[in-house]
């Protein structure tokens, strides 16, 4: 099991060694990627791609060379995407079992490409945020779509060649609340979102905007509730229960770095870390209900820094699992530098990140 499975690398690993997997993911674009790369879907998707390539004469034609807009998808882009989505639904209906959800399968096929037709710009923050509005060049988009389909087909063919098992479950759901099967899972390999590292709500704003525009509103997950998101305005105030998290928050509040820094700590960083650690506590409490008696799990986490304080992600997770009645301890630790910082000259705490592998057993 991986309750925060991202792109579903656990499925790829388990498929290649021939064992079953169960992946839960809350971020809809990443869940759709799991559907696209699922070993049981790969052959059908290859056939879908062949049908789309054979229907190249039906691909939409652009009527403008470029567009400048302050929105994600101007009218020209929406018209192209509307026709591409309809074509994707049509071919998916022909290549997949009719009992499958053709809309989600079609969205999975087209979503990785939609950024090519958006008006957006990557921020300077290591590409982890995308800004709405910008320039979209339509000339050449069909060549890019053709190249995308061919690259995707090669990827899918590689999956089918290596897969020894197709018994994998990919679920769209929140690890904090999703009703997992009770006492089912004997093993877990997982990694939670790291605080102030990657905000998945910001990284996938283009894809989330497309999914919202496409009116695929059944089971659509709000990006505001993703663990670790830096959108804290309007969210219910909640405090973590673990002592390590409380000690860290108290240290931020008492460690003065000047009037402006203290103001930022008070209005943003303290509420952000409170929400992050409380969400991690809720998630693992819920996950623990699905764990079998003969369980062994591994959680990969990283401790980065806030000003001159180490963010105790590993220590908090160990405390959570021990409080739940498990035996949690550090299995491996590795310290690296210049990870997650934009300043290559940073030194000390600001440039440090320690990665831990935490072992959890009954």
Give one DSSP letter per residue of 207-219, joined into a string.
Answer: HHHHHHHTT--TT
- pLDDT, residue 267, reads 83
Residue 118: strand, helix, or coil: coil
Which of 346, 319, 284, 335 minimizes the C-alpha distance to 4?
284
Name the DSSP class of 268.
Answer: I
pLDDT digits (tens, 9 = 90+) for 153-203: 999 999 999 999 999 999 999 999 999 999 999 999 999 988 876 677 778
| Residue recorded with tokens 């304080």 | 309
Name the DSSP class of 58.
Answer: G
Q: Please tell me the distance from the alpha carbon of residue 207 to that of residue 214, in angstroms, as a whole number.
A: 10
Q: Is the pLDDT of residue 340 over 60?
A: no
Which of 355, 359, 264 minimizes the C-alpha distance to 310?
355
- Burial category of 334 from C-beta neighbours within 10 Å (exposed 0-12, middle 13-18, buried 19 and up): exposed
- pLDDT, residue 217, reads 43
3-state helix/strand/coil string of 133-167: CEEEECCCHHHHHHHHHHHHHHHHHHHHHHCCCCC
- pLDDT, residue 127, reads 53
What mean pLDDT do residues 264-270 have?
86
Angle at 62 between CA 59 and CA 66, to 5 degrees: 140
pLDDT digits (tens, 9 = 90+) for 70-84: 999 999 999 999 999
- Burial category of 220 from C-beta neighbours within 10 Å (exposed 0-12, middle 13-18, buried 19 and up): middle
Q: Please tell me the distance from the alpha carbon of residue 33 to that of residue 73, in angstroms, as a whole number.
A: 21
- pLDDT, residue 312, reads 94
Q: Please tell me the distance from the alpha carbon of residue 28 to that of residue 135, in angstroms, as a whole number.
A: 26
What mean pLDDT do residues 247-258 have?
89
| Number of neighbours of residue 359 by Cβ within 10 angstroms | 18
What mean pLDDT do residues 33-59 have?
95
Q: Please tell me the distance from the alpha carbon of residue 17 to that of residue 163, in angstroms, as a whole number.
A: 8
Quick check: 111 and 210 in contact, CB under 8 A? yes
- pLDDT, residue 255, reads 83
Quick check: 142 and 59 in contact, CB under 8 A? yes
| Number of neighbours of residue 26 by Cβ within 10 angstroms | 27
Q: Kindly state the percentage of the chain with pLDDT values over 70.
A: 89
The token duo for 161 is 């060649």
Residue 247: strand, helix, or coil: helix
pLDDT digits (tens, 9 = 90+) for 14-29: 999 999 999 999 999 9
Between residues 264 and 217, the one the model is more confident about:
264
pLDDT digits (tens, 9 = 90+) for 273-325: 999 999 999 999 999 999 999 999 999 998 888 888 889 999 999 999 999 99
- Burial category of 14 from C-beta neighbours within 10 Å (exposed 0-12, middle 13-18, buried 19 and up): buried
Helices (H), the chain: 9-17, 28-36, 42-54, 75-95, 102-110, 141-162, 200-203, 205-213, 243-254, 259-264, 270-288, 313-323
- pLDDT, residue 201, reads 74
| Rg of the chain in Å (alpha carbons) | 22
Quick check: 40 and 14 in contact, CB under 8 A? no
Quick check: 312 and 248 in contact, CB under 8 A? yes
Q: Please tell me the distance from the alpha carbon of residue 331 to that of residue 336, in angstroms, as a whole number.
A: 17
Quick check: 170 and 280 in contact, CB under 8 A? no
Confidence of residue 339 (pLDDT cuts 50, 70, 90): very low
Least confidently predicted of 64-68, 79-83, 111-115, 258-262: 258-262
């Amino acid at each position: 099991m991986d309750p925060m499975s991202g792109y579903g690398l656990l499925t790829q690993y388990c498929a290649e060694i021939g064992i079953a997997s169960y992946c839960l993911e809350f971020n809809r674009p990443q869940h759709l990627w799991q559907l696209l790369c699922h070993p049981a879907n790969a052959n059908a998707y290859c056939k879908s791609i062949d049908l789309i390539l054979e229907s190249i004469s039906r691909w939409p034609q652009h009527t403008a060379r470029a567009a400048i807009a302050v929105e994600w998808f101007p009218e020209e882009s929406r018209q192209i995407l509307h026709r591409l989505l309809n074509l994707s639904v049509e071919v998916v209906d022909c290549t997949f079992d009719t009992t499958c959800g053709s809309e989600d399968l079609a969205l999975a096929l087209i979503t990785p490409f939609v950024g090519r037709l958006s008006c957006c710009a990557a921020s300077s923050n290591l590409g982890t945020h995308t800004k709405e509005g910008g320039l979209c060049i339509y000339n050449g988009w069909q060549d890019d779509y053709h190249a995308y389909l061919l690259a995707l087909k090669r990827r899918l063919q590689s999956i089918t060649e290596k897969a020894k098992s197709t018994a994998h479950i990919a679920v769209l759901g929140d690890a904090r609340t999703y009703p997992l099967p009770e006492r089912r899972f004997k093993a877990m390999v997982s990694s939670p979102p790291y605080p102030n590292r990657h905000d998945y709500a910001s990284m996938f704003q283009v894809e989330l905007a497309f999914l919202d525009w496409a009116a695929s509103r059944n089971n659509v997950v709000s990006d505001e509730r993703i663990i670790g998101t830096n959108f804290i305005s309007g969210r219910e105030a909640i405090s973590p229960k673990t002592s390590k998290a409380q000690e860290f928050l108290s240290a931020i509040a008492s460690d003065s770095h000047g009037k402006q820094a203290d103001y930022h700590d008070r209005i943003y960083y303290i509420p952000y870390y409170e929400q992050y650690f409380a969400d991690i506590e809720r998630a693992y409490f819920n996950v623990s209900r699905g764990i079998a008696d003969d369980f062994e799990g591994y959680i990969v986490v990283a401790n980065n820094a806030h000003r001159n304080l180490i963010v105790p992600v590993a220590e908090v997770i160990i405390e959570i699992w021990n409080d739940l009645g498990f035996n949690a301890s550090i299995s491996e630790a590795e310290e690296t530098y210049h990870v997650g910082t934009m300043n290559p000259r940073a030194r000390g705490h600001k440039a440090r990140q320690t990665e831990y592998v935490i072992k959890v057993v009954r």
